[in-house]
Amino acid sequence: MKDIKSITTRNHSYFLHIILLSALLFSVSGCKYRLAYNTAPFWSKYLLSDYIPMTNEQEEKFERDVNAFQKWHRKHELPNIYALLEDFQANSNKPLDYNQIVEYNGRVNKRVLATMKGLTPALASLFASLSDQQVTYLLDKINEDIEESREKRAKRTEEEAISHWSSRMEKRAKFWLKDIDIQQQKLFDEIAGYYLEMLPLFEGIADTRLNDLKLMLASRKQPGLEKRIDAYLEDLVMMKIEDQQALKLYNVRRNEVLFRMDRHLSEKQRGNFRENLAVLSKDISQLMKD
């Protein structure tokens, strides 16, 4: 069940993750995020500053565009997210069946994609204004991040890698459940093992998306940029790759573990989970009124 949160953060980091992170703050926001949500037009430019050294004019335009996006998101997308949470909460008083887990993961991805596509006009305006020097800086920074991340992963043994990814999932789960038991820790290790098996594929996806970004930036002055960005974001969120069979197998294995985990939540854990969902729904309801 905790995958309603974790599924939204499964994409690779680097510059693309900065964009995704910006979108996710709008997609899943709670009490402690309300200040960040309401001040997003101001701070969002700082999320990008390490990757794009913007001019004052570009910063001001980007902030105005994000402000417009925020107004759209509050009016049109927050109600959809609220409805999804309310529906999920109504069905979380008992274990979900496997098909429900798959369905909710798909619905979360759709909401994330809708939010990210809402950012397309702001991104298109920014990208179209970039100089060749800014594009080079951006791509060089992304390459640096990729190499740094891969060097860190290469230094880990298989056991260390599984422990690393399992710990990250446990941390997210504890946010929702408060505590986890030894058996549940083993289930996280199992998912981490599946992820490690798929890592070469995921790294290949990151390389493909980076190449796609290079092509998109190379044509940033040409008509139809917004459509190209929309297509790019859909490929990113929906994990559209050539080897769909391998990805489908990974998702099946992961969802099967989540199914087992959900069925073995204690009454206390399920109560903590539902309580957190209720708080989140309440806070999003308030965000719609802010």
Q: What would the pLDDT profile of 143-194 be if each residue is shown by its tens digit?
A: 999 899 999 999 999 999 999 999 999 998 998 899 999 999 999 999 999 9
The answer to whether residue 281 sits within a structural domain is yes
Q: How many domains does the chain have?
A: 1
pLDDT of residue 216: 97
Query: How many Cα atoms sit within 13 Å of 213 on the Cβ side?
Result: 21
Residue 1 has what pLDDT?
Answer: 44
User: CA 74 to CA 68: how far, in whole Å?
Assistant: 10
Print the domain residue range for 212: 13-289
Establish if 7 belongs to a structural domain: no
- Residue 30 pLDDT exceeds 50: no
Give the mean pLDDT of 71-85. 92
In a domain, 128, yes or no: yes
Tell me, what's the pLDDT at 270? 93
Dist CA 111 CA 116 (whole Å): 9
Within-domain flag for 8: no
65 contacts: CB under 8 Å, gap ≥ 6: 121, 122, 125, 126
- Say yes or no to pLDDT of 12 above 60: no
Residue 190 maps to a domain? yes
Distance CA 81, CA 147 (A): 35
Q: What is the mean pLDDT of residues 255-265?
A: 93
Residue 149 lies in a domain: yes
Residue 2 lies in a domain: no
Q: What is the dihedral of CA 21, 23, 27, 29, to 10 degrees?
A: 60
In a domain, 1, yes or no: no
Q: Tell me how far apart the 2 most distant CA atoms of the chain are, in Å.
A: 57
Rounded to 5°, angle at Cα 156 from 151 and 158: 130
Would you say residue 14 has pLDDT above 90? no
